[in-house]
Chains A and B, each alone.
Chain A
Amino acid sequence: MSPDPLVIAELRELFKSGATPSRLMRHIIAHHGQQIIPWTNKLIRAYFREAFGIPMFRASADLLAMGPEGLRIAPESAVVIHEMVKKRTEWDRSRITKAEETWMDSLAVTEALKQTDSTQTESFAGNSNWWNQLDDETKQYVKEMIVYTHSLSLKVAILSTLAEQLQQQILVLEDHFTPSSPLQSSPHPSCGE
């Protein structure tokens, strides 16, 4: 069974609207029905490969069926979401045409991406005296530390933005189910009026 192009498109749209990898896994399973676990996992990896360019998605479907233990895929999610955002130009044509804005276009994410990209190309202090006094091993360590720090900053920017996106969705649902919510703008006069 190979990935269905329609499902691939749905997965991309879901991610752009704020779905996490566990939600995407559930979407794949829902589309293809219950299968034996190795087959399901193979299929999930195939979808992440085709939809987002993730070579080998490393979380298995059985984790989702474990109630709160489903949170065990969170460490993998943090890394995969980071990769999906970094590879967005490869899988999201609407980004090229700027046809729509998503949570990934937020200032926090775009700035962190720029910083990460520049880290990979900049010359690390060039010819400054202090840099030239370092031995090669230390230079290498400093370079790796800067790249690592920027990579962590990007992960934080991505996850905090995604969390806020999900919070906004919760607010919409709260408004929908509790129309008298005090957070909702009220047609009635407030105190003091």
Chain B
Amino acid sequence: MNPYIREWSSTNTGTGYYADDLTNPDFFIEASIATIKSEKILTFIVRTIKPGPGGTVIRGKVKGSEFFEAMWEHFVAMGTTIDVIQGEWSDRVIFNFGKLTANLDAFNRALLIHSTREDAASNGTPTGRYAKKKLYTKVHFAKAEPPSQTGTGPYTDVVVQFRRP
């Protein structure tokens, strides 16, 4: 595990996880598992960059994939089964210094390259790639708004679920 990951062990449970970057608490991962209709659904937010002065980008010491891996190991250690990895991607504001739209932006770009939006979600986004690495390759869109007749977006609000086939 990346030594810069600080896990908040006292609050982490079988259904919740939080870790941040030792060098800057603005960079973190938070995950939660909810049971809906007997399925355990993992939702998470991860933040590893933020805008710096003069249009620059400040990066933390931990990559998104490393945060994800640490979270995954935690839930495995807790014996938690995960049926669904759910991505909630939108262009709505979350922080005063900007939006968290890495997945949404990547998805909209990937739609122009991949033949289906399922492929775009699975292969063209950070969350999709994390899910694929864990063999969650079956893709279902619970929400993709606004509707697009060609399926190429651009979308502003997406809820996508990755399951094992």
Residues 52-67 of A, flagged 1 when their CB comes within 8 A of B and 0 if not, give 0101101110110010
Q: How far is the CA of A160 from the CA of B81 in the complex (A)?
A: 41
Residues 69-101 of A, flagged 1 when their CB comes within 8 A of B and 0 if not, give 100110110010000000000000000000000
Chain A residues lying within 8 Å of B16, measured Cβ to Cβ, are 46
Q: How far is the CA of A76 from the CA of B92 in the complex (A)?
A: 6
Which segment of A18-26, A141-149, A175-183 sits at the interface? Answer: A141-149
The answer to whether A55 and B145 have CB atoms under 8 Å apart is no
The answer to whether A72 and B88 have CB atoms under 8 Å apart is no
The answer to whether A56 and B45 have CB atoms under 8 Å apart is yes
Q: How far is the CA of A46 from the CA of B96 in the complex (A)?
A: 20
Is B34 at the interface (CB under 8 A from chain A)? Answer: yes
**Interface bin, chain A:** 20 to 34
Q: How far is the CA of A159 from the CA of B6 in the complex (A)?
A: 40
Is A114 at the interface (CB under 8 A from chain B)? Answer: no
The answer to whether B147 and A145 have CB atoms under 8 Å apart is yes
Is A36 at the interface (CB under 8 A from chain B)? Answer: yes
The answer to whether B32 and A55 have CB atoms under 8 Å apart is yes
Q: A138-B149, A145-B147 are in contact. Are A76 and B26 (CB under 8 A)?
A: no
Q: How far is the CA of A58 from the CA of B16 in the complex (A)?
A: 16
Is B90 at the interface (CB under 8 A from chain A)? Answer: yes
Total interface residues on B, CB under 8 Å, equals 31
Of the candidates A2, A55, A137, the one whose C-beta lies within 8 Å of that of B88 is A55
Is B107 at the interface (CB under 8 A from chain A)? Answer: no
The answer to whether A76 and B94 have CB atoms under 8 Å apart is yes
Q: How far is the CA of A138 from the CA of B147 in the complex (A)?
A: 11
Say how far B69's CB is from chain A's closest CB, in angstroms. 19
The answer to whether B30 and A69 have CB atoms under 8 Å apart is no
Of the candidates B32, B96, B145, B147, the one whose C-beta lies within 8 Å of that of A56 is B32
Chain B's closest residue to A56 (CB) is B43
The answer to whether B26 and A72 have CB atoms under 8 Å apart is no
Chain B residues lying within 8 Å of A45, measured Cβ to Cβ, are 30, 32
18 sample A-B contacts, Cβ–Cβ < 8 Å, listed by A number: A38-B26, A45-B32, A55-B32, A56-B44, A56-B45, A56-B88, A58-B100, A59-B92, A60-B94, A62-B95, A62-B96, A63-B95, A76-B92, A79-B90, A79-B92, A138-B149, A144-B144, A148-B147
Q: A38-B28, A76-B93 are in contact. List 10 more A-B contacts (CB 8 A).
A: A38-B25, A42-B30, A49-B34, A55-B34, A55-B43, A58-B100, A63-B93, A144-B144, A145-B147, A148-B145
Q: Which residues of B line the A interface, CB within 8 A?
A: 11, 16, 18, 20, 25-26, 28, 30, 32, 34, 41, 43-45, 86, 88, 90, 92-96, 100, 144-149, 151, 157
